[in-house]
Amino acid sequence: MQELGQTTLEPVTLALDNEEQDAMANASCRRNFSMDITLLDAFGHPVKKEMEVVASLLYADNGAPVEKPDDAESPLLTFYDGIEFSSSARPSKLLHGRASFKLRISQCDADKGNDHSLELHTSANAHSIK
């Protein structure tokens, strides 16, 4: 396999809604989100090349990474052969231009960012198949 290049994609901003203050008061209470991303070509069609996507979760206001708490799972997970991994441990493969991630975010994570917003940063590595 020959590497063709790396593309950094625009970040996706996630805003956390604080309306459920009572439910979010406990820092150990983690909210789960699923996020599917689709990489499109210049014509708006899903990219069909074999690619890997690396993702990281950052605070929108200061760019600091969302850290894994000592007693919890990583805040950003990816799937490989049906098994969850920390996104930092293994890149996610694109299937028909799509990749899926699971976010596990607590109020404690959100409070570290002043505006309660997080950004999902992704980059894709393209490979040619011989």
Beta-bridge partners for 57: 120
pLDDT for 114: 47
Q: Which amino acid is at 122?
A: T
Token duo for residue 103: 């976010």
In tens digits, the chain (130 residues) has pLDDT values of: 334 455 556 666 665 554 444 433 343 456 777 888 888 888 888 888 878 888 888 887 888 888 877 767 788 888 777 788 888 788 888 888 888 888 877 655 555 544 556 777 777 665 433 3
Q: How far apart are CA 119 and CA 13, in angstroms?
A: 4
Q: How far apart are CA 90 and CA 88, in angstroms?
A: 6
pTM of the complete model: 0.62
**DSSP letter string, 59-85:** ETTT--B-PPPTTS--SEEEEETTEEE
